[in-house]
Chains A and B, each alone.
Chain A
């Protein structure tokens, strides 16, 4: 696979990942390594397909497991092998694959890999220096190890939902599988740290990643505060505890469809003064109270009302330009169309185009980072389910053509 002349294609030359993980976290993590030349082999089954293979969006009327753009987003640059792990011979095939792998990833409910004979203890007998990373909801041990969930619900357990909302209403959470985007990076960081350790010492290891524990990292000082002072962080709408005004304010209709909003954050006294001058508010300019954050925090309701009265007469583009021109943090509350068309993201070539025989041409996200010397090449499109089965069974697992055909007949390759 690492045939590209782009230097970034070779960072993980020779590294093979047997990827038993599914849905968001594991596949997103291994994809970043696939971009840089790791051979990532998704172990899949049409009997128990990745949830995202049934997800959307998909071309109208196409009912195939290969039609989901959501699956494609997380699996570019990878291969796919069909192994029915529920079949008695499925584990045998998986064992042969693992014997060729450097890294094994999985995100089944704790206990499943043990039941099919592929626990870490089993796997290291097959491949002594293997790095195995399990990415479950709440870890492999403890009274909630078997508890089930996904990013939409786990963010509630992890404390994110409870601090997302208006103070006078129910918390709402983020509306996306938020903890997935957190746990993904703990997976990458854990695996790459372990791989580095192995390069130096020859020693593999087991990583027990609890998405819950990983997600507490993004709670800032919320947990350490509660643990040591008993204070419990509350949802603040869009406000901040340290400065004001800060909010997302309604703008005039710009006829692009839907309501339009702009975020403004006054983070210091200078910005405040410039805003008050710009808005020509003599009462704000002359107020001794409002010169300082404490005074502005005390007057937030009135300030928010005044700011919104001003923004609501202008379009988001006008507000962005006027405020950024005088150094005040302001940006439209981008919707997905804005994000898709954003000139800065376009400047970074953030959305990478990929052609797919079932999905067609779509663009997908690229990493949030750019590497000066080892940029990755455009990744290969996401694989069809089982597209690389023959390669994996024959070339990696060493089955003869006859044996491979027999495994198809027996229902292992599906």
Chain B
């Protein structure tokens, strides 16, 4: 089908100076074929020491592999003037720079957007920070948890009788990184028109504030402050249950109208003798007018609970979906590894990591017919030092 086997972003070079908050954005660009150069300090990037580890020792980070697959690595000491100049020279050969330092920190080293724009006018300079480059909180101390709560999502997550929650994997960092990837490519298309790069200012708080669904809209229109409702979807002042226990774990099921007749047929087919009125429930939405009273809902949920409790999560998934019911298993990471769907689509790839040997890694997060995703190993520290710096030096000389 394809006229070329080039990956989509193969003409482009990315300078990657991000810490934990941005690593996913540049990993994505690497998978799409960009030449992503991870700049590491002496001793290696901080995430090389971040768990989970493949072995007992501190030098076998799977996090590093996950976030840096397909990148190249050079070591620069940005506390040294000499390396500042090396980085500036490298920027002349690059299309993007991603950084996640505190506002002003790069400029203090002479490496800010304004320092580079004359020398590297083509450079798209992406800054990823907790709150943005300016403003009353721009210098606030932060972490993934702070980013998460600052956008408001945690107020919608968790059991009502305990504290608001975040997911235990770092969503604020990752959602922000995805936003940075989108923004960078919009800036790339802008460059096609103007010939110039620009400064892209990405805020973790803003990224998380965009995950609130319609809850903030309910506040603005109706003055309702939606609160967390446990394993349920809160709709303004009402909630609809999502999480149910089953024989070996949990499943997610929402009593949306489209599922109710199918649920009845499914339970009937399995001799579970459903007592609920499928026609009635198929006409009751989960938000808006015409809502049932709490007793009716409790009665329905009691029936569903008993049916799910006698069956396993994966079997409920397969049989429920075949009956047209929107039910999903609450998968563990192992369930994802074992997924027949992911296996059938060839989602997992194998790489030979230079330090950890053969690894199974998640592959393409999207399948592009003409420009396929590339899964490549993560680099060792400074692996590409000579080839990159020598080439950059000569390229800059040629440019003069």
Known interface pairs A213-B342, A224-B359. Does A204 touch B370 (Cβ–Cβ under 8 Å)? yes
**Which residues in chain B, 365-385, are within 8 Å of chain A measured between CB atoms?**
365-371
Known interface pairs A189-B181, A192-B189, A324-B141. Does A156 touch B329 (Cβ–Cβ under 8 Å)? yes
Of A55, A228, A329, the most chain B CB neighbours within 10 A belong to: A228
Contact B190 A8 (CB under 8 A): yes
Contact A169 B159 (CB under 8 A): yes
Known interface pairs A55-B214, A159-B332, A370-B200. Does A173 touch B181 (Cβ–Cβ under 8 Å)? no
Task: Tell which of A152, A190, A258, A363 touches B252, judged by Cβ atoms closer than 8 Å.
Answer: A152
Contact A158 B225 (CB under 8 A): no
B142 within 8 A of A: yes
Known interface pairs A201-B3, A368-B202. Does A340 touch B163 (Cβ–Cβ under 8 Å)? no
* Smallest CB separation, A121 vs chain B (Å): 10
Contact A265 B146 (CB under 8 A): yes
A384 within 8 A of B: no
Task: Tell which of B144, B243, B253, B328 touches A170, judged by Cβ atoms closer than 8 Å.
Answer: B243
Considering only CB atoms, which chain A residue lies closest to B11 in the complex? Answer: A200
A161 within 8 A of B: yes
Contact B334 A232 (CB under 8 A): yes
Q: Which range contains the number of B residues in contact with the other chain? A: 35 or more
* Smallest CB separation, B199 vs chain A (Å): 4
Known interface pairs A213-B345, A246-B145, A336-B152. Does A344 touch B136 (Cβ–Cβ under 8 Å)? yes
Per the bound structure, the CA–CA distance linking A142 and B166 in Å amounts to 32
* Smallest CB separation, A222 vs chain B (Å): 4
Per the bound structure, the CA–CA distance linking A368 and B13 in Å amounts to 24
* Smallest CB separation, A255 vs chain B (Å): 14
* Smallest CB separation, B20 vs chain A (Å): 9
Per the bound structure, the CA–CA distance linking A148 and B176 in Å amounts to 28
B140 within 8 A of A: yes
Known interface pairs A156-B331, A176-B215, A371-B200. Does A228 touch B360 (Cβ–Cβ under 8 Å)? yes
Per the bound structure, the CA–CA distance linking A58 and B187 in Å amounts to 35
Contact partners of B225 in chain A: CB under 8 A: 257-258, 335-337
Known interface pairs A214-B365, A370-B201. Does A336 touch B155 (Cβ–Cβ under 8 Å)? yes
Per the bound structure, the CA–CA distance linking A347 and B228 in Å amounts to 27
Contact A248 B165 (CB under 8 A): yes
Binding-face segment, B74-82, B204-212, B275-283, B387-395: B204-212
Contact B142 A345 (CB under 8 A): no
Contact A226 B337 (CB under 8 A): yes
B284 within 8 A of A: no
Contact partners of B50 in chain A: CB under 8 A: 242
Known interface pairs A174-B157, A175-B232. Does A235 touch B333 (Cβ–Cβ under 8 Å)? no
B120 within 8 A of A: no
Per the bound structure, the CA–CA distance linking A242 and B176 in Å amounts to 21
| Selected A-B contacts with CB under 8 Å, 16 pairs | A11-B190, A55-B287, A148-B321, A161-B330, A165-B231, A170-B250, A171-B231, A175-B157, A176-B156, A176-B213, A188-B186, A221-B66, A228-B360, A331-B142, A345-B205, A368-B207
Task: Given A197-B370, A368-B206, output 16 extra A-B contacts at Cβ < 8 Å.
Answer: A36-B186, A59-B221, A143-B344, A164-B157, A201-B3, A205-B368, A208-B369, A213-B347, A220-B66, A227-B348, A248-B165, A265-B145, A333-B149, A337-B219, A366-B206, A372-B113
